[in-house]
Amino acid sequence: MKTRYTFGGDEHIYVEIDEEMSLDAFFKSLSMSTAVRDANIPGVTEICPANASFQVKFDPDVTHPEDMLKRVKELEHMADSAEKRLSTRIVEIPVYYQDPWTQECVMRFRERHQDPSGTDLDYAARINGYDSVEAFIEAHHSQPWFVSMVGFVAGLPFLYQLVEREKQIQVPKYLRPRTDTPKLTVGYGGCFSCLYSVRGAGGYQMFGISPMPIYDPEQQVSYLKDFLVFFKPGDIVKWKPIDRAEYDRVTAAVEAGTYTPRIAEVDFDLEEFNADMAGTNEKLMEALNGA
């Protein structure tokens, strides 16, 4: 990993922990973001951790940009020595793969796609070497995912799969971004899965849809009454494949205010995970299934 510091105009410092994505880069980004927040540097207004980078927004009238850069750089060694361990939660998110709504959208934007002859799932399965869409879908949901960034639009999680790099799925983004994406579409771009929190533009490949809202500005949804955004970096997600009947049942339960996501409190230790991925994931799943 090689950390690179740069300015984003006169109001931002952008720190790229690494050019490529890894959980090591994520943990360092998160630790440094936390260190910057704890340092209470005068003039800092926003700290935004991302997958393998983070950004600090500040008022240059309060602290000169060069001084701010120096202060942030000084915190790098603290992140290096920080424990790469999180107390977090694992959440089960139901997904209706190959649903009619994202498939309609897939067909509507075919001319913006690398391979207009098939669907996003056909394409993703083929370029990742899977024999069938079903086998590809299985690979997408069989192991848990890590929320490595929240953003793009309100409350959208970027997810990184907890598997060896050679098992990571990679797909390109659409050639030209779409102007529409159904709300709660499960998307894929680069090595990241995402869950579109709201309807709108998007460039990720579309695989399915979830009935479980993750952003509610009205705060009517039972599990979003305390805060309008569901996810935060470090959350762990397990997709659960569902069919149309289950989709409809969950949707009705959400509307009735009776839906409760399955969630378990867990600890995640990066070193332990790197040493034994299968064993760590098994423990995560045990905790979830016991919830």
Partner 1 sequence: MALKINKPGLSTSVQDLGRPGYFHLGIPISGAMDRFALRAANLLVGNPEGAAGLEAVFMGPEIEFTEDAIVAVTGAEMPITIDGEAVEGWTSFTVKSGQTLAFGFLKTGARIYIAVSGGIATDPDLGSRSTYPIGALGGVDGRPIAQGDVIPSGQGIVGKAGLSVPTDLRRGPTNPAELRVLPGLYWNRLTEAAGNGFFEDTWIVAPEADRMGYRFKGGRPLEFVDREQPFGAGADPSNIVDGCYSYGSIQVPGGTEPIVLHRDAVSGGGYFTLGAIISADMDFIGQLQPNTPVRFVKVDMDEALAARTSRREALQKIRKDLT
Residues of this chain that interact with partner 1 (CB under 8 A) are 6-12, 14, 16, 18-22, 45-55, 57, 60-61, 64-66, 149-156, 158, 160, 165, 168, 170, 172-173, 177, 189-192, 197-198, 200, 203, 215, 217-218, 229, 232
When the beta carbons of 48 and 285 are compared against partner 1, the nearer one is 48
Q: How far is the CB of 210 from partner 1 (least distance, A)?
A: 17
Spatial CA neighbour of 238 closest among 175, 286, 178, 177: 286
Instruction: Provide, rounded to whole angstroms, the least separation between the CB of residue 134 and partner 1.
Output: 25
Nearer to partner 1, 2 or 245 (CB): 2
What's the token pair of residue 40? 């209470």
Contacts by residues 31-36 (CB-CB < 8 Å, ≥ 24 positions apart):
31/78, 31/79, 31/82, 31/84, 32/72, 32/75, 32/76, 32/78, 32/79, 34/82, 35/75, 35/78, 35/79, 35/82, 36/72, 36/75
Token digits for 109? Answer: 């934007």
Distance CA 150, CA 258 (A): 26
Residue 131 C-beta: closest distance to partner 1, Å: 23
Output 47 or 93, the one with its CB closest to partner 1.
47
* Apex 165 CA angle, 2 and 148, nearest 5: 65
Please identify, using beta-carbon distances, which residue of 190 and 241 lies nearer to partner 1: 190
Pick 68 or 121: Cβ nearer partner 1 = 68
Contact present, 258 and 110 (Cβ < 8 Å): no
> Which residue, 100 or 177, is less far from partner 1 as judged by CB?
177
For residue 51, the minimal CB distance to partner 1 (Å) is 6
Cα dihedral value 143, 259, 155, 201, nearest 10: 90
* Minimum CB distance to partner 1, residue 199 (Å): 9
Nearer to partner 1, 16 or 96 (CB): 16
Write down the least CB distance from residue 46 to partner 1, Å: 5
CA distance 189 to 126: 15
DSSP letter for 203, please: -
Please answer whether residues 195 and 26 qualify as being in contact, where contact means their C-beta atoms are separated by less than 8 angstroms. no
- Phi/psi at 222 (nearest 5 deg)? -55, -45
- Smaller CB separation from partner 1, 12 or 283: 12
Residue 258 C-beta: closest distance to partner 1, Å: 23
Read off the amino acid at residue 17: I
Compute the least distance from the CB of residue 120 to partner 1, in Å: 15
State the Cα–Cα distance between residues 201 and 188, nearest whole angstrom. 14
